[in-house]
Amino acid sequence: MPDLPVPELLALDRQHVWHPYGPMPGLQEPLVVESASGVRLKLRTADGAQDEVVDGMSSWWSAIHGYNHPVLNDAAHEQLARMSHVMFGGLTHEPAVRLAKRLVDISPEGLEHVFLADSGSVSVEVAVKMCLQYWRSLGRPAKQRLLTWRGGYHGDTWQPMSVCDPEGGMHELWQGVLPRQVFADPPPATYEESYADQLRELIARHADEVAAVIVEPVVQGAGGMRFHSPAYLRVLREACDAHDVLLVFDEIATGFGRTGALFAAGHAGVTPDVMCVGKALTGGYLTMAATLCTARVAEGISRGEVPVLAHGPTFMGNPLAAAVACASIDLLLGQDWQTEVQRIEAGLREGLAPASEIEGVRDVRVLGAIGVVQLDREVDVRAATRAAVREGVWLRPFRDLVYTMPPYVTGDADVTRIARAVCAAAREG
Ligand code: PMP
């Protein structure tokens, strides 16, 4: 099929395509990506000129190995030749079994059972269903609310939306319609005993109605790119154990090394009862996520009046995605990924240091392969993106934040370039 000329492609895009968090079709002006390789996106411009940008976003934090990676390509091709998909109800296959085993092996000790979902949001839905059903099975159906801290983000489907930031978050429109959850203040960056007490008190007070606490460990991502002390995770674990509440860690953004630990839970040495992973699970190649739980949760559900977890999306356990996920995990663990993430962390610290001098910059923070510049105003996304692209980098600022989460294979010169682009976007956006 011949390529559409860019103006025609953009006209059709405007006419018909609804982009994530986009307005009605017709108001967007996206860049056209022709291909991607390594850390670079090759763009098609209207005048036919060649252009490329370094991806400072890892395609929403997923493409940790970069694009067009020979190892992941081979895994996909090999699996494609066998089968790209087959239903998972009543059937099983090696890619899913291998992936479940690998996930159990590398996850915090005690997580034993794996549900393979088809997106991060769905894996959170599954986590919530697991927790509510667990308490129902144990004869405590009143425990059906969730407790979380404000400023979080867990996805765009119904239950996940209900535990996203209720004020000023992306789902404000639905307040009053979504399930009513219990919220704590957002966790401070450093450990404060008074905040820990607030968490303990809230969990104790709502224990009769709360099935689970759900949080993003160490980094609150799309709700505000905030970092907090891992010590709060231990406070949650203790309070949940003391009051018969399950603990869910949403590691969809933080999993697979992004914060410098394989899972952010590792910074605190805590095992949750349920854990969600996604995004980098397949190295950003295919859509797959997973919900892991302990034997206690699985056995509890199995003892109930309805002893099955009633969830079975069509593309659950997709073999193509599972095969690539196995290859991606092997690729990550087969190298000194910690040193690579530390190298990027050091590069971002150095490159973003000048950002604190920029007018209107409120905070600059770096953790693992995450660099954030926070402004005292809403970013003009269009102007900020234009500034970054001019510097040869793709970024997607939001709210008052310009940030980067580059692939771990980003070389030093490109890390410097990304940091320069973040500064330019903060200055001009
Ligand atoms: N949880 C967290 C922490 C996330 O960052 C995201 C995605 N940004 C999700 C859940 C939802 O994942 P998905 O976009 O794959 O549905």
CB 88 within 8 A of CB 316: yes
pTM of the model: 0.97
- Cross-strand pairs, 175: none
The arithmetic mean of pLDDT across residues 214-222, rounded, is 97
Q: Which residue has the higher pLDDT, 24 or 296?
A: 296
Q: How far is CA 154 from CA 22, 284, 370, 386, in A?
A: 19, 18, 18, 29
Distance CA 22, CA 17 (A): 9
With a 6 Å cutoff on the Cβ, whether 216 touches ligand 1 is yes
> Is 120 marked as binding a ligand?
yes
- Decide if 414 contacts 404 (C-beta within 8 A): no
pLDDT of residue 263: 98
**Is the distance from the beta carbon of residue 169 to the nearest atom of ligand 1 less than 6 Å?**
no
- State the burial class of residue 255 (Cβ atoms within 10 Å of its Cβ: 0-12, 13-18, 19+): buried
Quick: pLDDT tens for 302-339.
Answer: 999 999 998 998 999 999 999 999 999 999 999 999 99
> What is the location of CATH 3.90.1150.10 in the chain?
31-68+336-428
H or E, element range at 58: helix 58-61
153 is in an annotated binding site: yes
- Joined tokens for residue 337: 């990924």
d(CA 342, CA 337): 8
279, 315, 318, best to mutate for ligand 1 pocket (most atoms within 8 Å of CB) = 279
| Distance from the alpha carbon of residue 121 to the mean position of ligand 1, in angstroms | 6
pLDDT at 189: 97
pLDDT, tens only, 365-388:
999 999 999 999 999 999 999 999
Residue 118 Cβ < 6 Å to ligand 1: no
pLDDT at 22: 79
Q: What tokens appear for 285 in the block?
A: 């190649």
> What is the tens place of the pLDDT at every residue in 258-274?
999 999 999 999 999 99
Q: What pLDDT, on a 0 to 100 scale, did the predictor assign at position 232?
A: 98
* Strand-strand pairing, 246-250 and 274-277: parallel
Q: How remote is the CA of residue 289 from the centroid of ligand 1, in Å? A: 10
For residue 297, give Cα distances in angstroms to 35, 203, 236, 425: 43, 19, 18, 46
**Is residue 250 annotated as part of the catalytic site, yes or no?**
yes
| SS3 call for 361 | strand
Q: Is 153 a catalytic residue?
A: yes
Catalytic residue among 13, 55, 118, 153: 153
183 three-state secondary structure: strand
Give the pLDDT confidence of 35-73 residue by residue, as tens digits: 999 999 999 988 877 799 999 999 999 999 999 999 999
Residue type, 322: A
The pLDDT assigned to 25 comes to: 65
**Long-range Cβ contacts of 160-165 (<8 Å, 24+ apart):** 160/121, 160/124, 160/125, 160/128, 163/214, 164/223, 165/223, 165/224
- Around Cβ 48, how many Cβ atoms within 10 Å? 8
Instruction: Establish whether residue 252 lines the binding site of ligand 1, counting it when its CB lies within 6 angstroms of any ligand atom.
Output: yes
What's the alpha-carbon Rg for the chain, to the nearest Å? 22
Of 119, 154, 163, 170, best ligand 1 pocket probe by most atoms within 8 Å of the beta carbon: 154
The reply to whether 279 sits in an annotated binding site is yes
Which protein residue has the closest C-alpha to ligand 1 atom 15?
A: 120
Are residues 243 and 268 in contact, defined by beta-carbon separation less than 8 angstroms? no
pLDDT of 240 above 80: yes
Structure tokens, 309: 């977890």
If you measure from the C-alpha of residue 251 to the centroid of ligand 1, how many angstroms do you get, rounded to a whole number? Answer: 9
What pLDDT does 171 receive?
Answer: 78
pLDDT in tens, 78-114: 999 999 999 999 999 999 999 999 999 999 999 999 9
Q: Which two tokens stand for residue 180?
A: 């009513």
Atom 2 in ligand 1: residue holding the nearest Cα: 154
First-residue to last-residue Cα distance in the chain: 39
Reading the block at residue 129, the tokens are 């269903």
Whether ligand 1 lies within 6 angstroms of the CB of 124 is answered as: yes
DSSP-assigned beta bridge partners for residue 146: 212
- Can you tell me the distance from the alpha carbon of 48 to that of 46, in angstroms, rounded to the nearest whole number? 5
Q: Give the residue, by CA position, lying nearest to ligand 1 atom 12.
A: 120
Dihedral angle sign, alpha carbons of residues 257, 260, 262, 263: negative
Ligand 1 touching residue 272 (CB < 6 A):
no
The encoded tokens of residue 247 equal 């603990």
* Confidence band, pLDDT 50/70/90 cuts, at residue 153: very high
360, two tokens? 């209107």
CATH number corresponding to 31-68+336-428: 3.90.1150.10
Strand partners for 365 = 372
Q: Phi and psi (nearest 5°) for 115?
A: -105, 120
403 carries an active-site annotation: no
pLDDT of residue 166: 77
Catalytic residue among 250, 273, 408, 414: 250
Domain 71-334 has CATH 1.10.287.3510: no
- Two tokens, residue 48: 């036919």
Query: Has residue 361 got a pLDDT over 80?
Result: yes
Which residues share a beta bridge with 210? 145
What's the rounded Cα separation, in Å, for the pair 360 and 350?
A: 20
The pLDDT value recorded for residue 121 is 98
Which pLDDT does position 50 carry in this prediction?
74
Catalytic residue selected from 13, 279, 285, 414: 279
| Euclidean distance between CA atoms 172 and 174, whole angstroms | 5
What residues does CATH 3.40.640.10 cover in the chain?
71-334
Q: Ligand 1: which of 252, 286, 399, 403 to mutate, most ligand atoms within 8 Å of CB?
A: 252
Contact 215, 152 (CB under 8 A): yes
Residue 154 beta carbon below 6 angstroms from any ligand 1 atom: yes
Average pLDDT over residues 135-156: 97
pLDDT-based confidence at 21, cuts 50/70/90?
Answer: confident
- The pLDDT tens digits for 154-203 are 999 999 999 998 776 677 788 889 999 999 999 999 999 999 999 999 99
